Amino acid sequence: MMGNTAGRPDVLVVGGGLVGAAVAYGLAREGRKVTVLDQGDNGLRASRGNFGLVWVQGKGYGVSPYARWTRSSAQQWPGLAAALLEETGIDVSLKQPGGFHLCFSDDDLVEREARLAALSAELGGDYPYQMLDARELRERIPAVGPAAIGASYTPMDGHVNPLKLLRALHEAMQRRGVTLVGGEEIGRIDAQPRGFAVHGKRNVWHAPRVVLAAGLGNRALAADVGLHAPVAPNRGQVLVSERIAPFLDYPTLNVRQTDEGSVQFGDSMEEVGYNDFTTTDVLSTIARRGIRSFPLLKDVRLVRMWAALRVYSPDGLPIYEQSSRYPGAFVVTCHSGVTLAAAHAMRIAPWVAGGTIPDELSAFRGGRFLSAERTASHAH
């Protein structure tokens, strides 16, 4: 792909996980010629360890642009799921009946109601939610355990099958002409007069625009194009049970029954570097919490467990930015790849293609971390 520009893509997307695949699919919908450079299954792919929630409630507390961004994506999810089904025949098993956050103490309930009331106020009331007492909760979810004294509910939440989602995005983007190159590790990116040269182990790739959606790899690559993406790994562990009879019609924050009947128990938030091994103590805590929520699970057989590394920024929020030094280079990184998949396909992609930047994104520039880092370095 050196020399002749006739076969060059309009956009190179570095990373083929949920974030990169959603952006690439959206760019193809915009009529752009796209090549995705993916490390493949040897990469630390957060997509394969995802819990599968499309989750809005509680997110963006004190950061209303993130609350609006998340809510917008959840609203666009039915359209994304329908398009993927029509284009690929793959049903990603989207269900959006709303979701529950269980509370186990009076303090939990008070804090939860205060948080959701504040979010609703920040969004001008466009944030429906309910607080349920123990009786109301059991009317909705009879299997819930006696330790739960109430819950918050929002109708915005749901869940999908994340593996089917990744497969559907890959198939849909390729049907629309996207070239997916697997097993390509990117070493550096050079800005050139007419775009960018992306240096992989096997080739040098050229395009006038490049999107960094390489997860934890964005940390190093962003600096090549004048961007700042100080992401770090955050480990989450998950348990999966055998298939059992349906008992849970709604997702909850830590337990959900999948479209196939198995039950997922999650999860953890651990700063352990690049260690993606499971640990007995954390998995035991996850199992106990699941049984406390739903005692009928105490006798189910666990069949799988895994750990995966989230892509976490210092404040936990996404980083979305076009380089001011090298226009045409974009960074797109977050830890909510399922929830935000619709926003990435339907709102980020048109911006990358040359459209206007979504209003919410001004809050998510990587430069917001620079002043804090300078302060920290001066303190030492």
Q: What is the pLDDT of residue 49?
A: 67
Same domain as 224, residue 168: yes
Same domain as 342, residue 215: yes
Which of these three, 138, 155, 172, is where a domain ends?
Answer: 155
Same domain as 168, residue 146: no
Same domain as 144, residue 39: no
Same domain as 213, residue 119: no
Tell me, yes or no, whether 149 lies in a domain: yes
Same domain as 25, residue 133: no
What SS3 state is found at 254?
Answer: coil
Tell me, yes or no, whether 114 lies in a domain: yes
Tens-digit pLDDT profile for residues 3-54: 434 579 999 999 999 999 999 999 999 999 999 999 876 555 565 668 899 9
Q: What is the pLDDT of residue 377?
A: 46
Q: What is the pLDDT of residue 227?
A: 98
Copy the structure tokens of residue 56.
């809005």
260: left (phi over 0), alpha (psi -120 to 50) or beta: alpha
User: What CATH number is attached to the domain comprising 186?
Assistant: 3.50.50.60
Task: Report how far apart, in Å, the C-alpha atoms of 372 and of each of 22, 31, 222, 321 are.
Answer: 31, 40, 18, 18
Tell me, yes or no, whether 192 lies in a domain: yes
Which of these three, 119, 136, 155, is where a domain ends?
Answer: 155
Tens-digit pLDDT profile for residues 356-376: 999 999 999 999 998 766 544
Tens-digit pLDDT profile for residues 321-363: 999 999 999 999 999 999 999 999 999 999 999 999 999 999 9
CA triplet 367, 51, 343: central angle to 5 degrees?
Answer: 45
Tell me, yes or no, whether 331 lies in a domain: yes
Per residue of the chain (380 residues), give pLDDT as tens: 344 345 799 999 999 999 999 999 999 999 999 999 998 765 555 656 688 999 999 999 999 999 999 999 999 999 999 999 999 999 999 999 999 999 999 999 999 999 999 999 999 999 999 999 999 999 999 999 999 999 999 999 999 999 999 999 999 999 999 999 999 999 999 999 999 999 999 999 999 999 999 999 999 999 999 999 999 999 999 999 999 999 999 999 999 999 999 999 988 888 888 888 899 999 999 999 999 999 999 999 999 998 888 899 999 999 999 999 999 999 999 999 999 999 999 999 999 999 999 999 999 999 999 876 654 444 44
Please name the residue ranges forming H helices in the chain. 18-29, 64-88, 106-122, 134-140, 162-175, 218-224, 280-293, 341-343, 349-352, 370-379
Same domain as 375, residue 350: yes
Tell me, yes or no, whether 28 lies in a domain: yes
Sheet of strand 329-333: strand arrangement: 179-181, 34-37, 11-14, 209-212, 329-333, 319-322
Tell me, yes or no, whether 366 lies in a domain: yes
Neighbours of 193 (CB within 10 A): 4
Q: How many domains does the chain have?
A: 2
CB 181 within 8 A of CB 170: no
Same domain as 25, residue 151: no
Q: What is the pLDDT of residue 281?
A: 93
Same domain as 188, residue 150: no
Same domain as 192, residue 140: no
Tell me, yes or no, whether 293 lies in a domain: no
Tell me, yes or no, whether 167 lies in a domain: yes
Same domain as 20, residue 130: no
What residues make up the domain containing 31? 11-50+163-231+315-379
Which of these three, 107, 128, 155, is where a domain ends?
Answer: 155
Same domain as 323, residue 209: yes
